[in-house]
Amino acid sequence: MGEFPRISDAEWEVMRAVWRLHPVDAATVAAEVSNGRDWSGQTVKTLLSRLVAKGALAYDVDGKRYLYRPLVTEQEGIRHASRTFVERVFGGAVRPALAHFVREADLSAEEIEELKRLLEEES
């Protein structure tokens, strides 16, 4: 796939459900994402339709049901969202972004060691 589609926060919730459960019908997605949200089944169907139009999802017809599947991987989504965030908030500078998250996070000693290992692997 070329350019990753722009995905809203609500669409991210739907994508997470589809990544986890695919192939999946709209009713199952609605049940999965409705926890704590006041989203109707029609709202979820609208979000699914938008994601299909954006090229993030496709569907197959199974009788009267549409079964949705992702056209982009979760890793591609995370990669795109991370890059977009760093560009928008930190002007594309990764070091200040990492420094900010390390300072603001309540990291365990184990997590700090893991970060050190990752940095050593990259150098």
Identify the CATH number of the domain in which residue 50 sits.
1.10.10.10
Domain identity same for 45 and 80: no
104 lies in which domain range? 74-122
Q: How many domains does the chain have?
A: 2
Mean pLDDT, rounded, of the chain: 94
Residue 1 banded pLDDT, cuts 50, 70, 90: very low
Instruction: Kindly report the backbone phi and psi dihedral angles of residue 44, in degrees, each rounded to the nearest multiple of 5, phi listed first.
Output: -65, -40
Write out the two tokens for 11.
């669409």
Residue 2 banded pLDDT, cuts 50, 70, 90: low
Domain identity same for 63 and 83: no
Domain identity same for 96 and 117: yes
Among candidate residues 32, 52, 70, the one where a domain is terminated:
70
The reply to whether 84 falls in a domain is yes
Q: What are the pLDDT digits (tens) for 56-85?
A: 999 999 999 999 999 999 999 999 999 999
Is omega for the bond preceding 70 within 30 degrees of 0, making it cis?
no
The reply to whether 107 falls in a domain is yes
Identify the CATH number of the domain in which residue 99 sits.
1.10.4040
29-33 CB contacts, 8 Å cutoff, 24+ apart: 29/68
Q: Looking at the predicted structure, is the pLDDT value of residue 17 above 90?
A: yes
Q: How many whole angstroms separate alpha carbon 86 and alpha carbon 91?
A: 6
57 closest CA partner among 67, 47, 44, 71: 71
Q: Which residue has the tokens 């995370």?
A: 78
44 closest CA partner among 33, 60, 59: 33
The reply to whether 3 falls in a domain is no
Domain identity same for 79 and 60: no
